[in-house]
Structure 1
Amino acid sequence: MSDLLLKLRDLHTDIGQYHILHGVDLEVPRGQVTMLLGRNGAGKTTTLRSIMGILPPHRGAVTLDGRAVTGLNSALIARQGVALVPEDMGIFANLTVEENLTLASLDGPPDPKRLERIFTAFPALRTFWKGRAGTLSGGQKQMLSVARAMISERRLYLIDEPSKGLAPAIVSTLAKALRELKSEGATILMVEQNFRLAKALGDRAAVMDNGRVIWSGAMADLASAPDLQSRLMGLSLEDHT
C-alpha cells in the first residue's frame, strides 16, 4: 500500500441522541480511490461528514497527511485541501453555474485550463454557464456538484453516492470524469451503492456495518468473492447496478 493521506482512529459520532459511529478505523492511501460500502444506515455518510467537520466526532482522531484535523470546523478543513460532494449535491440553486464554480474555487477566479477540463467532462455546464443552478436537471446538478469539487486541485475528495437516482447515460458521464480525476493522481474516498461503478473505479474498499468498518482490503479481492460480499453486505456486487 502507498503512504496514507487520511487516517481515522476509533471515531465516534452522535447525531442528536443517536450514537451513529461506534469506533471507525479507516485508512485512505494517497493517490488511490477508496470505496466506502455497506448497507443503508451503516454510517457511511456520517463518516464523510465527520471527516469534513460537519458532524464533529466526540471521540477518536482524524489525521490528514499526518496532521490532526479533529475538531476543526468544515471551512478550515476545506482550506486543508479537502472537498466534499454531498449526497444532496450542495449547490446554490439561486446562483448561476458560473457563480457556483467561482465560489468553490480556492484561489480566486477559476483557472481557465481547469475550467476547460470541466467543460470537456460536462458539456452541459458550458451550455448553462449563465443559467441558474436551480433550473438544471437532476443529472446536471450532480455534474455541477462534482465540478465544484474539481474546480481547484484538492488533496482529498469525499464523494457521497454521486450516481444515486441518475440515468445510466449520466452515470457513464460522471464515471468518465471521476476516472480522469483518478488518472491525475487524486485521492478519493467515495460512498457508492452502484457496485459496478465501485468495482470499476475503486482501488481499495472498506465495508461498514452498524457504525464500524468490518472489512477493508483491495477492491479486486472483494469484487471477485461473491461469498464475501454476501457475508459482509447481504448481496452480490454482480447482481446490482
Structure 2
Amino acid sequence: MSDALLSLENIRTDIAQYHILKGVSFSVPRGQVTMLLGRNGVGKTTSLRTIMGLWQAKEGTLTFDGADITGAPISARARAGIGFVPEDMGIFGDLSVEENMVLAATNGMPDPARLEWLFSAFPALRTFWKSQAGALSGGQKQMLSIARAMIEDRKLYLIDEPTKGLAPAIISTMVGALRTLKQQGATVLMVEQNFSVAKALGDQAVVMDDGVVVWTGAMAELAESSALQERLMGLSMEAH
C-alpha cells in the first residue's frame, strides 16, 4: 500500500447520546481514491465530518500528512489542505455561481487555468456563471459543490455521496471530472452508494458496519466478489 496521507486510529465520535463511531481505524493512501462503503447509517458521513473537524472525536488519533490533527479546528484542517464536499452540497444559494467560486478560493480569485479546466469538466458552471446558485438544478448544484472543493489543489478531497439522486447523464459528467482529478494524482476519500461509480473510481475500499470498519482491501477485489459484497453489506451491490 502507498504511503498513508491520512490515518484514523481508534476514532470514537458521539452525537448527543448516540455512539456513532465505535473505534474506527483505517488509512487513506496518498495519490489514490479510497471508497468508504457500507449500508446507510453505519457511520460513513460521521467519519468524513470527524476528519474535517465538524464533529470532534471523543477518543482516538487523526494523523494527516504526518501531523496530529485530532484537536485541530476546521480552519486549520482546511489550511492544511483538506477539501470537503458535504452530502448537502454546502453552497450559498443566495450568491451567484461566480461568487460561490470566489469564496472557495484561498486568495479570493480562482486561478484562470484551473477555472478553465473546471469549465471543461462542468460546462454548466460557465453557462450559469452569473446566475443565483439557489436557482440551479440539483445536478448543477452538486457540480458547483464539487467544483468549489476543486478550485484549488488540495492534498485530500473528502466527498460525500456526489452522485446521490442525480440523473445518469449528470453522473457520467461527475465521474468524468473525478476521474480526471484522480489522473492528476489527487488523494480522495469518498462515500458513494452507487457501486458502479465506486468500482469505476476506487483504488481501495473501506467497508463499515455499525460504527466500525469490517473490511479493507482493493476495490477490484470487492467488485469482483458478489459473495464478499453480500457478506459485508448484506446484498450484492452489482444490482445497484
Report the TM-score range of the alignment, normalised by the length of the smaller protein.
Answer: over 0.9
Which residue does 1:173 correspond to in 2? 173
Question: 1:236 deviation in Å?
Answer: 1.1
SS at match of 2:7: strand
The alignment yields a C-alpha RMSD, in angstroms, of 0.6
Structure 1, unmatched stretches of 5+, are none
Is 2:21 the partner of 1:21?
yes
The aligned runs of 1:36-185 (5 Å cut-off) are 36-185=36-185
Deviations along 1:123-182, one digit per CA (max 9) or x if unpaired, are: 110011011100000000000000000001000000000000000000000000000000
Deviations along 1:14-56, one digit per CA (max 9) or x if unpaired, are: 1111110000001000000000000100000000000000000
Q: Distance in 1 between matches of 2:117 and 2:235?
A: 37
Deviations along 1:72-93, one digit per CA (max 9) or x if unpaired, are: 1111111110000000000000
Q: Distance in 1 between matches of 2:44 and 2:235?
A: 17
Structure 1 runs of 4+ with >4 Å offset = none
SS at match of 1:62: strand
Question: 1:237 deviation in Å?
Answer: 2.2
Which residue does 1:215 correspond to in 2? 215
> How many pairs are equivalent?
240
Which residue does 2:201 correspond to in 1? 201
SS at match of 1:193: coil
Counterpart residue identity of residue 228, structure 2? L
Question: 1:71 deviation in Å?
Answer: 1.4
Structure 2, unmatched stretches of 5+, are none
TM-score (structure 1 length as normaliser): 0.99
Q: Distance in 1 between matches of 2:27 and 2:21?
A: 16
TM-score (structure 2 length as normaliser): 0.99
The sequence identity of aligned pairs, in percent, is 66
